[in-house]
Structure formats: C-alpha cells, structure tokens
A = this chain, B = another copy of it.
C-alpha cells in the first residue's frame, strides 16, 4: 500500500479476495465445463436441482445466484435440451415447479469424477482442515444480514 492509498490492501478486501479465490478455483472447473459443454450458470442450476429436488424458480434463483429474468431464459433452453422439466404448481398457479431429468442427472454423473479430481487437488494443497474451516466461514458469511 502506497502512502497516498485511500483504501486498504485489495487482498484484505473481502469482495476482491472472494473474487480472486473463486477465479483460482474456477479455472479447472471451466476447463471441465468446456468439455460438456455447459455454462457455469447451467451447471449451478443442475447442482441445486440435484440437491433440492423439485423446487420453484425463485428458490433456484436464490440458491444459484441468478436473477429471475436470467433464469427464465436459461431454463427455457435447458428444458428444450431435456435437462429439466417444468410444471405449474397445483396449489399456487403462479408458481412453476422445476425438476432435474435423468438426462440432467446424467450430465452430473458423467462429470462426477472430474469434479472430484478438482476438489481433491485443492484439498491436497490447502489441507483438509483449512478447507473445512474455510467452507464453514463462507457459510457463516453467506448468512450474514447486510
């Protein structure tokens, strides 16, 4: 930090530090996604649906960090590609319920090994304890009320 800096070191800025760490982690993930091929956003949606089962779009948007207008467009192509299904909710007809298909699950399954290799590599370098601690802190931060 130079004497005329108005701001603290960028590596001690949480938004910047989170971004840089994510870019590091995402590098091999992007290589993997290019082979599928699939965007990061679609991959997150599949992961969220695999985890949560049949859910409404607002939930997906929140969990996958996407805006509803973006999600509408992305789900349209994922439905056309047979990766997800959508149906109107019986009780609240405003809601659309979204579910992953076997084909969507197949994409996750096919890339399970590659995913594991990537996370094992990170774990091997950072150490299991630090990685667990980091994930705990990130979960805690994510829940902070701002």
CA distance A25 to B9 in the complex (A): 17
Are A24 and B135 also in contact (CB < 8 A) when A6-B50, A51-B9 are? no
Q: A14-B135, A25-B14 are in contact. Are A53 and B2 (CB under 8 A)?
A: yes
Contact surface of A with B, Cβ cutoff 8 Å: 1-2, 4-7, 9-29, 44, 47-48, 50-51, 53, 63, 65, 105, 108-109, 112, 115, 118-119, 121-122, 125-126, 130-131, 133-135, 137-146
Contacts A13-B47, A108-B6 given; indicate if A24 touches B141 (C-beta within 8 A): yes
Shortest CB-to-CB span from A129 to chain B, Å, is 11
When distances are taken between beta carbons in the complex, the residues of chain B under 8 Å from A5 are 50-51
